Structure 1
């Protein structure tokens, strides 16, 4: 049997053109899908590698946790030791201040005109009580105390007449502020071996 194509040539060309366009479209679609699949596989591999890195880093972090705890414990112990050293320095400073103030007061007392009956120091406060022959002796003693490098202000809190061994004497009470001289305080705060 013989076939006769009665379709016009134009229609045949359009059909061939449509077929070619469909082939190009499906080819492009397949290429696009393959490209997306390749990108997806690449990203999945990359994500898997990153997850493995995260697991490795977490293991390493777990390995270092005891060391970090030791470091924190050492830092805590260091702070506690520094605090204790500071307390010791403060106590040493206060004890040396007490000794120096007692020495200074002992040097300033004119034992033929003035006698101390009590001396109390608490921190930077010094309370003195005693008796003197007269008001001038008390004033002179107060001036010498104020001139002392360890004594700041001196206040007369009480002065009265009293009888001791049949003699009329002046009883007095003084309040003073005491501290180490600034240059001595700075020298004590210096670390050994520093200029």
Structure 2
């Protein structure tokens, strides 16, 4: 698939199953991420790969974090749903920003670079026929999750990218009207 076709048609694919992306597909996703816009070449991103039984361990970390964060006790259904979150796909890529002090590159821009890397991976996944979607939510910012994953003090989770084989053909990308989002500015 050519680059413009992938860029124009990429959509998230929510229903995923085995198998996980092949080693060749993974390398294409990873290489795409490393081409993200990156002011001062800080390379503020790093990624953790979670698959197999490690997904169940991640589910236990999610549950511990959710139980600590909740004011009320979780129901059995909520507990099971939280435990099963990492089982939504055979591979989870956790996007992490390593925040670095820099006189010209604020933290926000470093997070944006990680987001650009994630978007590049999502587009590469689409081009490779890999189903993928990006999630954040309260667990991404939970200190217990960060600790459980071994993140350093200066590291933040910017998302969980779920990857696998689509259970069905991807939906059609919405036909958004360019003029609704782009306009010319003139200084009068």
Q: State whether TM-score is above 0.5.
A: no
Structure 2 length-normalised TM: 0.33
Q: Name the structure, 1 or 2, with higher relative contact order (CA <8 Å, separation 6+).
A: 2
- Give the TM-score normalised by the residue count of structure 1: 0.32
Specify which structure has the higher proportion of helix: 1
Larger Rg: 1
